[in-house]
Amino acid sequence: MTGRAHVRHLLKVSDLEPQEILDIFELTEKVRRDPEDYGERLSRKTVGLLFEKASTRTRLSFESGVHQMGGDTVFMGGDSQLSRGETIEDTARVMSGYLDLIVIRTFGHDRIERFAQKSGIPVINGLTDGHHPCQALSDFSFVLKETGKVRGIRMAYIGDGNNMAHSLMEAAALLGVHLVVSTPSGYAPEAEILRWSKEMARKTGGSVEWMTDPKEAAKEARVLYTDVWTSMGQEAESTIREQAFFGYQINREVLSIADPDAIVLHCLPAYRGKEITEEILEGPRSRVFEQAENRLHLQKALMLYCKGKG
């Protein structure tokens, strides 16, 4: 896990070692099983949430998690001095004097990297344009809980090569998962993240591949995963994207190609009839809302881990 001096930050999944991820997963299950044992772990601690993007699950899960562990939160949206031109570096130095940990949800990944360089407190990435590590870690924690394994499992991600794809690729590579990412040719994941993930996966016994054929990707997959076609900040491209992603949908046909026991995941929000059908989202193979609930437990564990209270 990267950090300044002895401060633990989580900016992307590849900041972690495989054993660190497994330690966080183990702590997640302890927190889930015995929440009362962790009810005072953040007593008299204040966690800041600096969110420059809209949020439902990330904000609620972090705020609820902090309060359930005896701490307080301070939420800052678009009303901070950042909106008036204060530098991210100055903001980091000031906030480090007031808070004990901060969760940031912003646009360019460079912003959170610059913040972390000047921060004297742990920084957790609640989402950037490049990475969504909390979601990916929570998802693989959930897969482990749901199926009893993560190493060697086959997963297909069908959709956009976005921040979600990037974080899933990094996590899969570190955990020995066999992941196939399927996107239209003009929407592939970043080449460097794909290269790193392929190389790491070879070391852990997994594999990370990219292809354009979603049906080929779905073959024998134990986990089918999708995300929105148009991410925050891309709304002007929505019409073009809907045309490009036609066919990149988790539906009855795609599910029939997967493993007979396949489960379906989606990081939400979902747009029924686009990246996933209503039938599948609300069907017996969907674990989407249980997946969302898992964010609370994983993020409680992650905050404790960053604070050295695991």
Q: Cβ neighbours of residue 290 under 8 Å, at least 6 residues apart?
A: 142, 146
Known catalytic membership, residue 299: no
- Report pLDDT for 4: 46
Catalytic site residue from 267, 287, 291, 306: 267
Catalytic site residue from 295, 297, 299, 306: 295
Structure tokens at 51: 């969110």
Known catalytic membership, residue 267: yes
Nearest CA to 221 out of 170, 274, 168 is that of: 168
- Report pLDDT for 3: 46
Q: How is domain 134-291 classified at the CATH fold level?
A: Rossmann fold (3.40.50)
Sign of CA dihedral 270, 271, 275, 276: positive
Q: Where in the chain is the domain with CATH 3.40.50.1370?
A: 13-132+295-306, 134-291
DSSP 11-48: SSGGGS-HHHHHHHHHHHHHHHH-GGGGTTTTTT-EEE
User: Does residue 191 contact residue 183 with C-beta atoms inside 8 Å?
Assistant: no
Q: Is 124 helix (H, G, I), strand (E, B) or coil?
A: strand
CA 119 remoteness from chain centre = 22
End-to-end CA distance of the chain: 15
Q: Which CATH superfamily is domain 13-132+295-306 in?
A: Aspartate/ornithine carbamoyltransferase (3.40.50.1370)
Known catalytic membership, residue 227: yes
Beta bridge partners of 37: none
Q: Is 302 helix (H, G, I), strand (E, B) or coil?
A: helix
Sign of CA dihedral 260, 21, 29, 69: negative
Q: Between the CA of residue 92 and those of 252, 276, 304, what are the distances in Å?
A: 48, 39, 21
Structure tokens at 189: 């994941």
Element holding 214 (H helix, E strand): helix 214-218
Residues 49 and 299: their CA atoms lie apart, in Å, by: 13
The pLDDT profile of the chain, 310 residues, written as one tens digit per residue, is: 554 457 899 999 999 999 999 999 999 999 999 999 999 999 999 999 999 999 999 999 999 999 999 999 999 987 888 888 899 999 999 999 999 999 999 999 999 999 999 999 999 999 999 999 999 999 999 999 999 999 999 999 999 999 999 999 999 999 999 999 999 999 999 999 999 999 999 999 999 999 999 999 999 999 999 999 988 777 888 899 999 999 999 999 999 999 999 999 999 999 999 999 999 999 999 999 999 999 999 999 999 999 987 6
The owner of tokens 């002895």 is 6
Exposure on the CB side of residue 162, measured as CA atoms within 13 A = 21
* Region class of 285: left (phi > 0), else alpha (psi between -120 and 50), else beta: alpha
Known catalytic membership, residue 295: yes
Known catalytic membership, residue 59: no
- Report pLDDT for 82: 84
User: Does residue 66 contact residue 42 with C-beta atoms inside 8 Å?
Assistant: yes
Q: Is 192 helix (H, G, I), strand (E, B) or coil?
A: helix
Catalytic site residue from 132, 154, 178, 266: 132
Residues 127 and 273: their CA atoms lie apart, in Å, by: 25
- Report pLDDT for 1: 55
Residues 170 and 147: their CA atoms lie apart, in Å, by: 20
Nearest CA to 218 out of 280, 279, 174 is that of: 280
Q: Interhelix angle for 133-147 vs 18-33, to 10°?
A: 70
pTM, to two decimals: 0.96
Quickly count: other Cβ atoms within 10 Å of residue 226's Cβ. 28
Known catalytic membership, residue 135: yes
Catalytic site residue from 227, 249, 266, 299: 227
Catalytic site residue from 131, 135, 139, 154: 135
Residues 180 and 201: their CA atoms lie apart, in Å, by: 12
